[in-house]
């Protein structure tokens, strides 16, 4: 049990009605989750306004309410407090409620359009193999040492996030590595956290349905760096032209990494092949299991973070050299078929182009590249024709299929993708909406040594259609179909 006035520490209150010395049993931002003794925080969302559910929260047992607009006649049986931005206040409140866990371990946040999951997963595995207790918050899963906890978001909501950090502290974690999505920054999910460091990977076209303009998207990511304390490090990829913008107003100590310019952490690609990457990092040449130039950035960022956190460089490189790629990230689906198959989570134009360019660079003869790809529903529509055109440009055959249609009409999604397909690409394009059938067709078309890329869903083990998640795993279906068409 915590006292209301203590959990409102650092929240700027504009007005108060009622007793601030009451006990609070739980913090909730959803009236449906409120139980007796809870504090309800009313948040304006993208669909509805949480203020409309205050009465319901009180009926469910809320004893205090945090709101942005004080009701004209506040219910006298509960305490009401008013603050300007409840979504940000919720971050501070959740942090106070769980004893400010982010201050009790070293929390590193990774942001960027692509590469967050890969980078935090590598960091988690590296620090575990270096003998530390570590926590992970990622799109694929959350993890505390050896315990896995299902993830519903790339970055959890304020309450779940602080609860998980507290569990990490309780289980002795010295470090936590987390993905910071742009949605999370905008919705105040990271407000009140104290980061030991933050990393900027890159920014490219995505989520414009939410941020509306690319500039808003950049400015949202920058807020992570604006919020860092002076004790933190701010590490940016200088090869991305928006890298410097991120640190314009930061109080943190600035560091940069990249492949192009003289930076604090610089790498050179010596070999980039289907077997892995050989990089020169700080004069040491090291082999890594990850594939593709884009992974050189992820590996270099991991090396830099480990160095900034005080780990010994040569030990880091030795351990990192043996670490596998994150699930569904350029994951080779190995069977005894002579066809090579790759599952990758590329769901942005930039990621798709990187992966297909990487595959293209490995061609040694006249092997065909067959790509199966779709675009998610209820997500950025502008990227659909761009992704389609990139897929067709770099493939000999491309099959457009369903990703997660969610609440959209899948035929319309594919129609929008086809907007990127001009007359020259039409000949190599097939439309097979059923993803299983699309993968089957790709396998049936492939001959010896051809390469199949199934893009967009990576580690996902479901397909989301109208709010229902149906079992679906690209990797399992690929394995089954490759076996079926094996000569
Ligand atoms: C668009 C978006 O990000 N939405 C997130 C947002 O919900 P919202 O703003 O739509 O909420 P709302 O439905 O309008 O409700 C407003 C408020 O009223 C409350 N409410 C609502 C109904 C009710 O009966 N009672 C009640 O109290 C809600 O709990 C909420 O506090 O806040 C919710 C709570 O934190 C999130 O679960 C929800 O994520 C949805 C499910 C989602 O799909 N988000 C995706 C887009 C997302 O966040 N993705 C990013 C990264 C993507 C990437 O990796 O590239 C992520 O971090 O995962
Ligand atoms: N550093 C990188 N630069 C560009 N593309 C990358 C990079 N790392 C990975 N990718 C590509 O982007 C895809 C997604 O990678 P990853 O899951 O690591 O990114 P993410 O930022 O976590 O994505 P999300 O926003 O969905 O959480 C990969 O499957 C790969 O195709
Ligand atoms: N985590 C991201 C990636 C989704 C990947 C893709 N499979 C899709 O459904 O669009 C999101 O929620 O936007
Ligand atoms: Mg991710």
What domains appear along the chain, each with residue ranges and CATH number? Answer: 2-97 (3.40.1390.10), 101-320 (3.40.1190.10), 331-485 (3.90.190.20)
- CA 260, 119, 300: angle at the middle one, nearest 5? 30
Protein residue with its CA nearest to atom 56 in ligand 1: 154
Name the residue of 109, 118, 383 to mutate for ligand 2: max ligand atoms within 8 A of Cβ.
118
Q: What is the pLDDT of residue 482?
A: 96
Tell me if 116 CB under 6 Å of ligand 3.
no
CA separation for the pair 311, 333 (Å, rounded): 34
CA separation for the pair 175, 462 (Å, rounded): 31
Contact 147/158 with Cβ under 8 angstroms? Answer: no
Contact 271/306 with Cβ under 8 angstroms? Answer: no
Q: What is the pLDDT of residue 237?
A: 98
Q: Which of 478, 480, 474 is nearest to 462 (CA)?
A: 474
CA separation for the pair 100, 133 (Å, rounded): 19
Contact 332/479 with Cβ under 8 angstroms? Answer: no
Q: Considering only CA atoms, give the Rg of the chain.
A: 24
Each residue's pLDDT expressed in tens, for the chain with a length of 487 residues = 799 999 999 999 999 999 999 999 999 999 999 999 999 999 999 999 999 999 999 999 999 999 999 988 888 899 999 999 999 999 999 999 999 999 999 999 999 999 999 999 999 999 999 999 999 999 999 999 999 999 999 999 999 999 999 999 999 999 999 999 999 999 999 999 999 999 999 998 888 889 999 999 999 999 999 999 999 999 999 999 999 999 999 999 999 999 999 899 999 999 999 899 999 998 899 999 999 999 999 999 999 999 999 999 999 999 999 999 999 999 999 898 899 999 999 999 999 999 999 999 988 888 999 999 999 999 999 999 999 999 999 999 999 999 999 999 999 999 999 999 999 999 999 999 999 999 999 999 999 999 999 999 999 999 999 999 999 999 999 999 999 998 7
Count of CA atoms in the C-beta half-sphere (13 A) of 153: 14
Protein residue with its CA nearest to atom 29 in ligand 2: 345
Tell me if 29 CB under 6 Å of ligand 1.
yes
* Annotated binding residue 154: yes
Ligand 3 mean position, distance from CA 310 (Å): 35
Ligand lying nearest the CA atom of residue 114: 2
Protein residue with its CA nearest to atom 11 in ligand 3: 379
**H-helix segments, 81-130:** 86-97, 116-129
Tokens of 79: 């305490």
């Amino acid at each position: 049990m915590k006292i209301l006035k203590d959990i409102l520490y650092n929240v700027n209150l504009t007005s108060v009605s009622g007793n601030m010395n009451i006990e609070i049993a739980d913090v909730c931002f959803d009236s449906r989750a409120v139980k007796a003794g809870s504090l309800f925080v009313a948040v304006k969302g993208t669909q509805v306004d949480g203020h409309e559910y205050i009465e319901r929260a009180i009926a469910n047992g809320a004893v205090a309410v945090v709101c942005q607009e004080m009701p004209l006649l506040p219910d006298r049986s509960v305490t009401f407090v008013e603050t300007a931005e409840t979504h940000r206040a919720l971050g501070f409140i959740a942090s106070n409620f769980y004893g400010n866990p982010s201050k009790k371990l070293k929390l590193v946040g990774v942001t960027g359009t692509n590469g967050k999951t890969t980078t935090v997963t590598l960091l988690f595995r590296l620090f575990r193999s270096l003998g530390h207790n570590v926590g992970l918050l990622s799109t694929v899963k959350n993890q505390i040492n050896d315990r896995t906890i299902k993830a519903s978001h790339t970055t959890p909501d304020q309450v779940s996030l602080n609860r998980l950090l507290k569990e990490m502290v309780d289980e002795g974690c010295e470090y936590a590595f987390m993905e910071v999505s742009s949605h999370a920054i905008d919705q105040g999910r990271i407000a009140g956290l104290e980061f030991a460091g933050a990393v900027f990977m890159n920014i490219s076209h995505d989520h414009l349905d939410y941020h509306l303009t690319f500039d808003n998207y950049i400015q949202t990511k920058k807020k992570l760096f604006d919020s860092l304390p002076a004790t933190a490090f701010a590490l940016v990829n200088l090869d991305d032209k928006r890298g410097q913008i991120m640190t314009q107003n930061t109080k943190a100590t600035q560091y940069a990494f990249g492949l192009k310019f003289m930076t604090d952490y610089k790498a050179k690609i010596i070999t980039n092949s289907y077997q892995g990457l050989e990089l020169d990092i700080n004069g040491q040449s090291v082999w890594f299991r990850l594939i593709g130039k884009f992974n050189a950035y992820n590996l270099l960022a991991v090396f830099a973070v480990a160095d900034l956190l005080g780990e010994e460089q040569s030990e880091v490189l030795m351990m990192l050299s043996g670490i596998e790629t994150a699930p569904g990230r350029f994951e080779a689906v190995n069977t005894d078929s002579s066809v090579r198959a790759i599952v990758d989570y590329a769901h942005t134009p930039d990621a798709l182009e990187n992966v297909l360019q990487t595959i293209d660079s490995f061609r040694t003869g006249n092997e065909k590249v067959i790509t199966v790809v779709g675009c998610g529903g209820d997500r950025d529509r502008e990227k659909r024709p761009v992704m389609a055109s990139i897929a067709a440009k770099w493939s000999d055959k491309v099959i457009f299929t369903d990703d997660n249609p969610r609440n959209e009409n899948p035929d319309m999604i594919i129609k929008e993708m086809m907007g990127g397909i001009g007359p020259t690409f039409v000949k190599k394009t097939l439309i097979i909406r059923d993803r299983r059938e699309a993968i089957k067709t790709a396998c049936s078309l492939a001959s010896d040594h051809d390469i199949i890329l199934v893009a967009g869903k990576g580690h996902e083990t479901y397909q989301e259609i109208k709010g229902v998640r149906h079992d679906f795993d690209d990797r399992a279906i690929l394995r089954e179909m490759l076996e079926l068409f094996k000569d």
